[in-house]
Amino acid sequence: MKKILFLVALTFSVMVSAQKTITEGKITSKQTISTDNEQMQAQLDMMGKMETITLFKGKSSRSEMDNPMSGNITTVINAENSEMLVLMDNPALGKMYTKEDISLSAEDLKNITVTKGSETKTVLGYTCQKYTTSITKDGVKVEMVLYTTEAIPVVSQQTTALGDKIKGFPLFAEMKMNQMGIDMTVTTEVTKIEPQAVSSELFNTTPPEGYKNMKGE
């Protein structure tokens, strides 16, 4: 009986410790893209493994994905300045960047719908809350299902367009959208979370030399 109680207590202790807030560290996640269009799916399959490494501190984050087909894509979100910098080093197109103000206006918020669900999902020991979202911009509608944990209070790529309507970092996300008449589903799942020291210099949103503005400005 004592052994059973010890195991229960140990399990509970691990669960509780996993929920402690992490203010800086490293997150590893994997992405998959699927579609009913066989020709498009064949092209997507050629991209191979898609893995993103995210370094975060406070609410700011820096995510990097390197793939032979898409090249290197780095996304820097500076929560203090409400800015997002995207750097792309593509084998065919070269080095480009975009820089955006991620603060939302009252008009932006009118096109956003967020519904908090009753379901939860456990990912890597973290209990995540379900949110269903819908964003319409320039006539394009993007729907997402997110499972977020408030133990990691970071602004992510998926939540920048949602303002303060979502709490926490998504450890699982499923996004549905239509690109050029083709329905696609993008699934992102966090596979590892590692608390560690992170330099604030990583969240500088000044475009580096050698990168051209995609907007031609």
Nearest to 174 by CA among 189, 164, 162, 192: 189
Is 7 a domain residue?
no
Q: Which domain does 96 fall in, by range?
A: 21-213
Is 4 a domain residue?
no
Is 14 a domain residue?
no
Ramachandran angles phi, psi of 43, nearest 5°: -70, -40
Is 171 a domain residue?
yes
pLDDT digits (tens, 9 = 90+) for 90-148: 888 899 999 999 887 777 778 888 999 999 999 999 999 999 998 887 777 888 999 99
Is 63 a domain residue?
yes
The residues facing 193 across adjacent strands are 27
pLDDT digits (tens, 9 = 90+) for 182-211: 888 889 999 999 999 999 999 999 999 999
pLDDT digits (tens, 9 = 90+) for 144-162: 999 999 999 888 877 887 8
Nearest to 114 by CA among 129, 128, 124, 92: 129
Nearest to 178 by CA among 133, 131, 143: 143
Supply the pTM of this predicted model: 0.81
Is 179 a domain residue?
yes
Question: In total, how many domains does the chain have?
Answer: 1
> Residues in the chain, how many?
217
Which domain CATH number covers 109? 2.50.20.10
Is 3 a domain residue?
no
